[in-house]
Amino acid sequence: MTGERDLPRLLAGASPRLLPAEYVFVTVAADRVGDIPARARIEEDEGTTLVIERADADARGLSYEFVARWITLDVQSALDAIGLTAAFGTALAVAGISCNVLAGYHHDHLLVPAEDAHTAVEVLEQLSP
């Protein structure tokens, strides 16, 4: 299925969904990833970044600095859609909320500070006409 490209439709259908767990970013050497259950994995020159549940990081003794909540925008956006990231990024910035963005094939995913998660969802819901 082809994703949506029309910005007003994207915003109207965003339907931000807050996942229940807390997530953290950890970095490990590529050969140490093993069976760590990552929700996202990014290969960087310095090592492999994993986004994992905080409980999994704690259980494995992995260090982290940022505790986030994961928000999925349930609208199926096209990978080449224009303006969606700018729209939600700007709205969250105006509200004083930082945001890390991951784009999947079907949806956009936002990681926001855990303490700001509910406010972030409210801000995102206000983008819908």
Model confidence pLDDT, tens digit, residues 55-87: 999 999 999 999 999 999 999 998 899 999 999
Q: Is the pLDDT of residue 1 over 60?
A: no
Q: What is this structure's pTM?
A: 0.92
Residues 6+ apart with CB under 8 A from 103: 77, 79, 85, 109
Res 86: pLDDT: 95
Q: Which residue reads 């999925």 in tokens?
A: 72
The mean per-residue pLDDT over the stretch 10-19 comes to: 92
> Domain limits of the chain?
7-125
pLDDT, mean of residues 26-38? 87
Q: How many angstroms separate the Cα of 50 from the Cα of each of 36, 46, 80, 93, 128?
A: 9, 13, 25, 25, 31
Specify the fold of 7-125.
Answer: VC0802-like (3.30.2130)
Q: What is the pLDDT of residues 92-118, one digit of tens each?
A: 999 999 999 999 999 999 999 999 999
| Residue 24 to residues 53, 57, 111, 123, Cα–Cα distance (Å) | 6, 8, 9, 22
Query: What is the spatial distance between Cα 42 and Cα 16, in angstroms, rounded to a whole number?
Result: 23
